[in-house]
Chains A and B, each alone.
Chain A
Amino acid sequence: MSNWITKTAAELVDALAAGETTSVELTQAHLDRIAAVDGDATAGVHAFLHVDAEGALAQAAESDARRAAGETRHLLDGIPIAVKDVLATQGLPTTCGSKILEGWIPPYDATVVRKVKAAGLPILGKTNMDEFAMGSSTEHSAYGPTRNPWDQTRIPGGSGGGSAAAVAAFEAPLALGTDTGGSIRQPGAVTGTVGVKPTYGGVSRYGLVALANSLDQVGPVTRTVLDSALLHELIGGHDPLDSTSVNQPVGAFVEAARQGAAGDLAGLKVGVIKELAGDGWQPGVMTRFAETVELLTKLGAEVTEIACPSFVHAMAAYYLILPAECSSNLAKFDAMRYGLRVVPEGDPSAETVMRATRDAGFGDEVKRRIMIGTYALSSGYYEAYYGQAQKVRTLISRDFAAAFEQVDVLVSPTSPTTAFPLGEKLDDPLAMYLQDLATIPANLAGVPGISVPAGLADEDGLPVGFQVLAPALADDRLYRVGAAVEAALSATWGGILLNQAPALEGGSK
């Protein structure tokens, strides 16, 4: 097994530049790793739904040819990447983890995919996810769950469990995820990887199959903060195809990460969110969180406790707004133009075909949310549910605004628990929803957030995530604080947290 797979993307960038390796070699190494450890729906990590070895190697060869001619397109040119299966990829299947899109091959690329391809990053394949990004465990994928590389009896988080697990299992140095209520950060926390939800509108959503349009955001999943900064700078920026994308220059995230890694946070004001800790939170998570806050103080930050009283209503508001939007988004899946078509016995009509297809094509969680959303938007209930939820959303934005008048960043644990066992919460949707308690407020307010590894919980030896939130468009602060935490902790661990992950069957690291 090649040792290229354990390198960070930044290290691989240097290795390519120094001529120590080639993109083809890197890509092949990761494809070999996928072949060795990914397995399938029944065993293995199962991070990928579709691997495009041929396409990735062709892209890698082109990258090598460019490099030989001295024409690299981007710093990350030649570094392979995995893409969450909710992003449209021209010529590659895009299923959103759903049976209803089985076999659909989009005729176009999502803007982030187009940017990644244009920069010369070979796309290894599409990663597993909860169906239409609904879930916190990747168990709602119609194609079987992804397993946490730290403990394959456990969930990898969700909905982007595939992207996080691919990075944690050394199957890909970089991945793209999407975060609607925490689907990048929570999987990052429970797999010991770094996940960033950029400012809403900071990265184009064009080609992202919408879960809830007003909450969704594409972001990086990587092994280090610097790698996320590199990828974020590449995918960020205004897109004329997405009118909600912010028309401002992309921030200097890489520079912020490098500054943060130098370890000086003098003068930084940090607020600990009072509402996102305490009863019901796993002790091991709270211990690592407290230590990390202590670390910030040592690095020169001023830490205070900040109250965000409306956050207690965030979950309720989120589970009205999200289903409302997704009930509308999913109406287009009518069995007529693409994806699955189930034709019932007898003399089928358009209506019976549609009903049979949706019945077979959508999973329980999707059906549940369509029902809730349809109800929440219906006349007579709109004001009581959707209208109220929007008001809560405004209050949460005000809480953030008030907090950011006092502090530069807010912090909390990313997830209340470490990775729980597969199947444990599958029959208890509310318990599953609680996983996103700490991540949801950022989506409702459109502010950016990062999850960085904070160590392993004492009781189960599983990764704990530390969340940093910043004001909208101040994503650079995430990289500064995240990199400082990472540098200090890595120094005590003798390397990144992932190096402590157990070896996987079928391949040593």
Chain B
Amino acid sequence: MTTVTKLVDFDEVIEKFDPALGLEIHVELNTNTKMFCGCPAVFGGEPNTQVCPTCLGLPGAMPVVNGKAVESAIRIGLALNCEIAEWCRFARKNYFYPDMPKNFQTSQYDEPIAFEGFIDVDVEGETFRIDIERAHMEEDTGKSLHVGGSDGRIHGADYSLVDYNRAGIPLIEIVTKPIMGTGDKAPAVAKAYVSAIRDLIVALGVSDARMDQGSIRADVNLSLAPKGAGGLGTRSETKNVNSLRSVERAVRYEMARHAGILLDGGSVLQETRHFHENDGSTSSGREKSDAEDYRYFPEPDLVPVAPSREWVEELRLTLPENPAERRVRLQGAWGFADLEMRDAVAAGAIELIEETVAQGTAPQSARKWWVADLLRRANDAGVELAAVGVTPTQVAAVQALVDAKTINDKLARQVFDGLIAGEGTPAEIIEKRGLAMVSDDGPLLAAIDEALAAQPAIAEKIRGGNLAAAGAIIGAVMKATRGQADAGRVRELILEKLA
């Protein structure tokens, strides 16, 4: 980029402008087969091994709607408090895209399967109701691979290859109405909304819900209007943002960028933009005006979808507990403080804590490991908490060893190191690394004697009744035993000795 982007300080943006958000979330469904054919819809696979005439768009091939995808779409719609269409159709969205086999996308246009819903999201104790305009069914495109050049982008590439394995995978696109009145909370609301949708999708079990693998991707629309003027400004659309943190950063960046343009008297270009993980910036994609013409018309190869009311009501009964309500219930059951619960939610740790607790671990212990220790490791590794390399079963096993005083918290952290490094079960790691605590009083007493002898002044204080001074001796004993002593037992032994 040669043009200098002027970024306005966030506080100044809020002082002078009202932001409006619009979010489009694509959810890849986890159906066994693709949207319009019988090819497997699984992630990965050698390029072009999960394809047939239909998803390759070969001349003459025809689509047939995947009933399971319709079911998932209806359940998502119901969970978003939407109306479910009694009769709807697919439409062709005609445009050119290099990895789209038919050069039109089979989607839904003016007749979506679900419409007019809402979802409430919580940001720092304040509830925002996000109105859902529609949730519609469509198919994914293939994936281009640009070979040659330095950065894998099309510019500078020698040639491009296309993998159609993903072409035809069912997608649900969830579109909000413009989200107004969020003020300085706009970035947080955007993040909370995407997070809430992800939680809902996880609870419904309709998608792998992996943002890092693109099974949930968000397009972030943002516009600014002069403070108090009402209405909507010209929007930019930042495409395919693939983490919660990036959603927040993208909104923040676009607010700063739009404000810079507007305060200089310029006008914002309506365009799509790319988000850059490295510095949180966006850059221009392609210009997109309202005049873009997709020449929609009803897909003549597919019969209309007309879900019976009985079926819709049956599906309503399959809806899981509302994630927000569930959170209130779990917080009560676990006895977490508000801040503890909020941190656990923000960490994406609710399900992990729940599974750990289900295996007998005290809720506070489970929370401590996931939200403190393991979250830091996940952040360091740049992965989601669930992908950190330790399972709830393992956390429960480690905590059981702590409870049995086989190890202490400090040693437990080393067990987690071992688990992440794939060194085996907790017991094996303790054995291999020699982490078991010293349980025989003999070596401890010897170490205590040594410490007392080395620090006679402190020994004197303890004898004089200053029990707080015992800490220094305990520390020395722990050091001498390389952390493998039970600090409580050491304390008991010191007090017995000096009583």
Binding site for B on A (CB under 8 A): 87-88, 94, 96, 101, 104, 106-108, 110, 205-210, 212-214, 240-244, 324-325, 327-328, 331-332, 334, 336-338, 350, 374, 377-379, 382, 386
- Within 8 Å by CB of B94, from A88, A101, A108, A377, lies A377
8 closest A-B pairs by beta carbon, nearest first, are A214-B300, A331-B103, A213-B300, A377-B295, A209-B59, A88-B60, A207-B60, A209-B60
Q: List 26 A-B contacts (CB under 8 A).
A: A87-B60, A96-B59, A104-B59, A106-B53, A205-B62, A206-B61, A207-B60, A214-B300, A241-B64, A242-B62, A243-B64, A243-B65, A325-B300, A328-B104, A331-B94, A331-B102, A331-B104, A332-B57, A332-B101, A336-B98, A337-B56, A337-B101, A350-B98, A377-B296, A379-B295, A382-B295
Report if B92 contacts A (CB, 8 A): yes
Residues in B with CB closer than 8 Å to A334 are: 96, 103
Chain A residue nearest to B58 (CB atoms) is A106
Residues in B with CB closer than 8 Å to A338 are: 58-59
- Within 8 Å by CB of A244, from B53, B58, B297, B301, lies B301
- Within 8 Å by CB of B62, from A241, A324, A327, A332, lies A241
Chain A residue nearest to B57 (CB atoms) is A332
Residues in A with CB closer than 8 Å to B62 are: 205-206, 241-243
Contact code string B88-103 (vs A, CB < 8 Å = 1, else 0): 0000101010100111
Residues in A with CB closer than 8 Å to B92 are: 328
Interface residues of B in 265-302 (CB under 8 A from A): 291, 293, 295-297, 300-302
Report if B328 contacts A (CB, 8 A): no
- Bound together, the chains give a CA A96 to CA B62 distance in angstroms of 17
CB distance A88 to B59 under 8 Å?
A: yes
- Bound together, the chains give a CA A107 to CA B53 distance in angstroms of 8
- Bound together, the chains give a CA A80 to CA B293 distance in angstroms of 48
Report if B495 contacts A (CB, 8 A): no
Residues in A with CB closer than 8 Å to B58 are: 88, 106-108, 338
Chain A residue nearest to B59 (CB atoms) is A209
CB distance B60 to A210 under 8 Å?
A: yes
Interface of A is mostly: loop
- Bound together, the chains give a CA A241 to CA B293 distance in angstroms of 31
Report if B303 contacts A (CB, 8 A): yes
CB distance A208 to B295 under 8 Å?
A: no
Chain A residue nearest to B54 (CB atoms) is A241
Chain B residue nearest to A86 (CB atoms) is B60
CB distance A331 to B96 under 8 Å?
A: yes
- Bound together, the chains give a CA A212 to CA B300 distance in angstroms of 8
- Bound together, the chains give a CA A337 to CA B59 distance in angstroms of 11
Residues in A with CB closer than 8 Å to B300 are: 212-214, 244, 325
- Contacts A243-B62, A331-B102, A338-B59 aside, 18 further interface pairs with beta carbons under 8 A come to A88-B58, A88-B60, A94-B60, A96-B59, A106-B58, A205-B62, A208-B60, A213-B300, A240-B64, A242-B64, A243-B302, A243-B303, A331-B94, A337-B101, A374-B295, A377-B94, A377-B296, A386-B297
Residues in B with CB closer than 8 Å to A214 are: 300
CB distance A101 to B59 under 8 Å?
A: yes
* Contact A213 to B301, CB < 8 A, known contacts A243-B64, A328-B92: yes
Chain A residue nearest to B292 (CB atoms) is A379
- Bound together, the chains give a CA A106 to CA B58 distance in angstroms of 8
Residues in B with CB closer than 8 Å to A96 are: 59
* Contact A206 to B60, CB < 8 A, known contacts A243-B302, A331-B102: yes
- Within 8 Å by CB of A328, from B60, B64, B295, lies B295
Residues in A with CB closer than 8 Å to B57 are: 332
- Bound together, the chains give a CA A334 to CA B61 distance in angstroms of 17
Chain A residue nearest to B65 (CB atoms) is A243
Residues in B with CB closer than 8 Å to A94 are: 59-60
* Contact A332 to B60, CB < 8 A, known contacts A374-B295, A377-B297, A378-B295: no
Interface of B is mostly: loop
Contact code string B58-78 (vs A, CB < 8 Å = 1, else 0): 111111110000000000000
Chain A residue nearest to B63 (CB atoms) is A243
Q: A94, A242, A243, A324 — which one has the most chain B CB atoms within 10 A of its CB? A: A243
Count the A-B residue pairs with Cβ separation under 8 angstroms: how many?
94
Chain A residue nearest to B56 (CB atoms) is A337
Interface size class of B (residues with CB under 8 A): 20 to 34
Query: What's the least CB distance linking A81 to chain B, in Å?
Result: 18
Residues in B with CB closer than 8 Å to A242 are: 62, 64, 301
- Bound together, the chains give a CA A327 to CA B102 distance in angstroms of 12
Chain A residue nearest to B64 (CB atoms) is A243
CB distance A332 to B64 under 8 Å?
A: no
Q: A101, A205, A241, A378 — which one has the most chain B CB atoms within 10 A of its CB? A: A241
- Bound together, the chains give a CA A244 to CA B63 distance in angstroms of 10
Residues in A with CB closer than 8 Å to B60 are: 87-88, 94, 106, 110, 206-210
Residues in B with CB closer than 8 Å to A350 are: 98
Chain B residue nearest to A87 (CB atoms) is B60
Residues in A with CB closer than 8 Å to B53 are: 88, 106-108
- Bound together, the chains give a CA A453 to CA B457 distance in angstroms of 124
- Bound together, the chains give a CA A379 to CA B293 distance in angstroms of 6
Residues in B with CB closer than 8 Å to A110 are: 60
- Bound together, the chains give a CA A382 to CA B91 distance in angstroms of 14
- Bound together, the chains give a CA A446 to CA B401 distance in angstroms of 74
- Bound together, the chains give a CA A327 to CA B291 distance in angstroms of 19
CB distance A328 to B94 under 8 Å?
A: yes
Residues in A with CB closer than 8 Å to B96 are: 331, 334
Query: What's the least CB distance linking A87 to chain B, in Å?
Result: 7
- Bound together, the chains give a CA A338 to CA B101 distance in angstroms of 11
- Bound together, the chains give a CA A243 to CA B291 distance in angstroms of 34
Query: What's the least CB distance linking A411 to chain B, in Å?
Result: 29
Chain A residue nearest to B93 (CB atoms) is A328
Interface residues of B in 16-72 (CB under 8 A from A): 53, 56-65
Residues in A with CB closer than 8 Å to B98 are: 336, 350
Residues in A with CB closer than 8 Å to B59 are: 88, 94, 96, 101, 104, 106, 209, 332, 338
Query: What's the least CB distance linking B290 to chain A, in Å?
Result: 9
Query: What's the least CB distance linking B153 to chain A, in Å?
Result: 15
CB distance A207 to B61 under 8 Å?
A: yes
- Bound together, the chains give a CA A324 to CA B297 distance in angstroms of 9
- Bound together, the chains give a CA A207 to CA B295 distance in angstroms of 25
Residues in A with CB closer than 8 Å to B303 are: 243-244
Chain B residue nearest to A216 (CB atoms) is B300
CB distance B297 to A328 under 8 Å?
A: yes
Residues in B with CB closer than 8 Å to A108 are: 53, 58, 61
Residues in A with CB closer than 8 Å to B104 are: 328, 331
Query: What's the least CB distance linking B363 to chain A, in Å?
Result: 51
Residues in B with CB closer than 8 Å to A106 are: 53, 58-60
Chain A residue nearest to B92 (CB atoms) is A328
Chain A residue nearest to B160 (CB atoms) is A350
Residues in B with CB closer than 8 Å to A88 are: 53, 58-60
Residues in A with CB closer than 8 Å to B301 are: 205, 210, 213, 242-244
CB distance B293 to A378 under 8 Å?
A: yes
- Bound together, the chains give a CA A207 to CA B59 distance in angstroms of 7
Residues in B with CB closer than 8 Å to A208 are: 60
Q: A327, A328, A382 — which one has the most chain B CB atoms within 10 A of its CB? A: A328
Contact code string B111-136 (vs A, CB < 8 Å = 1, else 0): 00000000000000000000000000
- Bound together, the chains give a CA A374 to CA B303 distance in angstroms of 23
- Bound together, the chains give a CA A110 to CA B65 distance in angstroms of 19
- Bound together, the chains give a CA A332 to CA B96 distance in angstroms of 9
Chain B residue nearest to A242 (CB atoms) is B62
Residues in B with CB closer than 8 Å to A209 are: 59-60
Residues in B with CB closer than 8 Å to A244 are: 300-303
Query: What's the least CB distance linking A71 to chain B, in Å?
Result: 31
- Bound together, the chains give a CA A337 to CA B64 distance in angstroms of 23
Residues in B with CB closer than 8 Å to A374 are: 295
Residues in A with CB closer than 8 Å to B296 are: 377
Residues in A with CB closer than 8 Å to B103 are: 331-332, 334
Query: What's the least CB distance linking B291 to chain A, in Å?
Result: 8
- Bound together, the chains give a CA A214 to CA B302 distance in angstroms of 10
Chain B residue nearest to A213 (CB atoms) is B300
- Bound together, the chains give a CA A327 to CA B98 distance in angstroms of 18
Residues in B with CB closer than 8 Å to A87 are: 60
